[in-house]
Structure 1
Amino acid sequence: MPRSKRDKKISLTKTSKKGVALKQRIIDDIRSCVEKFENIYVFTFTNIRNNTFKEIRDSWKPSRFFFGKNRVIGVGLGRTVEEEVEDGLHKVSKCLKGERALLFTDCTKEEVLDWFKNHKYDEFARAGNIAPKSVVLEEGPLEQFSHAMEPYLRKLGLPTKLDKGVVTLIKSYEVCAEGCVLTSEQAKILELLDIRMATFQMCLKAHWSKKNGFEKL
């Protein structure tokens, strides 16, 4: 009886014992998912936030997502024809570059394509993002903030003071200009103001199935 591809041993060198255990667990999880699910999708993502992604993970159960540690995930799938645990999976490994991740699922291709096409999430921008619009605060009270926040707002750069216990801008202030690269202070001010300038979006790049093999999307 021929030996299963999934029985291949892997050498994890230059790694601490704790690191080896973690990497081996990821590899084992990947191989378990290969055996369990019919389809694997490779997708890119931008402006990811942990809370949003946790909600997505929960909504897709029992499907499984893997992101980060592309090299380790690639080892789990097999990076070459000789190493791959199912035919064609080395092609999936080659797609794992930069901010890319995997979805293991039994959902139909039509269901997956439709969901990825129609789901985007407004998120808070981070330092380094480009501001899509200008935001200017007018002089006057900022009643959404408690008096205890005033020193912190001033530290972020807002020209504030306490006026009878109310946080107040002493002059108009441009938080950001359209097209500017946001600083960490600007990003934090926008978050405190509940102004979301980024979009968390995922874009499908490739698909592998046990029935049809690998294809680019």
Structure 2
Amino acid sequence: MDELTPRPLVIGMTGGIASGKSTVARVFSRLGIPWVDADDVAREIVAPGEPALAEIRQRYGARLMLDDGCLDRRALREIVFADPAERQWLESITHPRIRTRLIEWLDTFHWRGAPYALLISPLLFESGQQELVDRCLVIDVPEYLQVERTARRDDVDEAQARDIVAAQMTREQRLARADDVLCNDGSPESLEAQIKRLDQQYRDMPRLPGNN
């Protein structure tokens, strides 16, 4: 990247499961803001033919493979949420690969001349991806809403939904690290108004010298 060319501000957007990150991203997109989702990248790096998928298959065997050769992500999730050691192993082989591809995406936003860009990641802080961003935006919802939305969206019972929420960073920990907060416990109109205010705030911030 050309060190003399200003680069867009990078906003790291995070929140607990079912907090509404995708909904927020779509509104920013309508405002002309590019974004990359770490969850999408995480799926890409375990696609058929990828080295990470081969390592997962070697560890767990064919029981985690679907008939079409893709990873059974739900079965893998059950394993790693039940055993912290397995979760740590999985993160050790996936997080470095995810980080590399995120950097590649952010570089493309520099050349597009975007006023700013979003890096969306549920594990922004846990994975160290906050080191790639300039500001951290937390989408905040009460825990009971996370549980309700997770159970409904993922077709799991309430107990499993609570376990999924409990396995993540706490709401208080995320808020303590936030530069900006969007509250997503009200109407769509309220959420969109908050996003538009933040959009103007980010556009008014100076672009930064290229440093990669």
Q: TM-score, normalised on structure 2?
A: 0.23
Say which one has the larger Rg: 1
**Higher RCO (C-alpha under 8 Å, 6+ residues apart):** 2
Larger proportion of helix: 2
Q: TM-score, normalised on structure 1?
A: 0.23
